[in-house]
Structure 1
Amino acid sequence: MQTKIYTNYETLSAAVAQIMFDTIQQKPNAVICLASGHTPLLPCQLFVQKANDEHLHISETTFIGLDEWVAVPPENEGSCHYFLYNTIFNPLILQAGQIHVFNSMAEDLNAECETMDAVIEHNGGIDLMIVGIGMNGHIGFNEPGVAFNNLSHVIELDKTTIEVGQKYFPAATTLSRGITIGLQHLMNAKQVLLIANGEKKASIIKKTIEEEVSNQIPATIMQTHSNGMIMIDAAAASQLSKNYLYEV
Structure 2
Amino acid sequence: MYKIFNTVDEVSRYTAQRLFDQICAKPEAILGLATGSTMEPVYAQLMQYLEQDPVDVSRLTTFNLDEYIGLGPEHSQSYCYYMYQHLFNQLHIPGERVHLPDGTAENAEIACQAYSEAIQAMGGMDLQLLGIGTNGHIGFNEPQTPFDSRTHVIELTEQTRIDNGRFFTDQREVPTHAITMGIQEILEAKEVILVATGSKKAEIMAELYRCEVSEALPASVLKIHSNATIVMDKEAAALLPEEGDLAAKA
Q: TM-score range by the shorter chain?
A: over 0.9
Which residue number corresponds to residue 57 of structure 1?
A: 56
Letter in structure 2 aligned against 1:186: I
| Bigger Cα displacement from structure 2, 134-143 vs 73-82 | 73-82
Secondary structure of 1:91's counterpart equals helix
**Do structure 1's residue 224 and structure 2's residue 224 form an aligned pair?**
yes
Letter in structure 1 aligned against 2:231: M
Contact 1:6 1:12 in 2 (8 A): yes
Secondary structure of 1:42's counterpart equals helix
Matches within 5 A, 1:210-221: 210-221=210-221
Letter in structure 2 aligned against 1:237: A
Contact 2:43 2:86 in 1 (8 A): yes
Q: Deviations over 1:199-227 (max 9, x none)?
A: 11000001112111111111111111110
| In 2, Cα distance between equivalents of 1:169 and 1:44 | 22
Which residue number corresponds to residue 154 of structure 1?
A: 153
Deviation at 1:53, TM superposition (A): 2.7
Which residue number corresponds to residue 244 of structure 1?
A: 246
Which residue number corresponds to residue 175 of structure 1?
A: 175
| Bigger Cα displacement from structure 2, 90-99 vs 13-22 | 90-99
Contact 2:168 2:174 in 1 (8 A): no
Instruction: Tell me how large the CA RMSD over aligned residues is.
Output: 1.2
TM, length-normalised to structure 2: 0.95
| In 1, Cα distance between equivalents of 2:50 and 2:122 | 22
For these two proteins, the number of residue pairs brought into alignment is 245
Matches within 5 A, 1:10-21: 10-21=9-20
Unaligned segments of structure 2, at least 5 residues? none
Percent identity, please.
Answer: 35
Matches within 5 A, 1:1-248: 2-172=1-171, 173-242=173-242, 243-245=245-247
Higher relative contact order (CA 8 A, sep 6+): 1
| In 1, Cα distance between equivalents of 2:36 and 2:26 | 26
| In 2, Cα distance between equivalents of 1:184 and 1:152 | 9
Contact 1:209 1:223 in 2 (8 A): no
Contact 1:77 1:170 in 2 (8 A): no
Deviation at 1:245, TM superposition (A): 4.4
| In 2, Cα distance between equivalents of 1:51 and 1:118 | 31
Deviation at 1:52, TM superposition (A): 2.9
1:108 to 1:181, Cα distance in 2 relative to 1, 3 A: same
Q: Deviations over 1:80-137 (max 9, x none)?
A: 1111111111111222111000111011111211221122122221001011000111
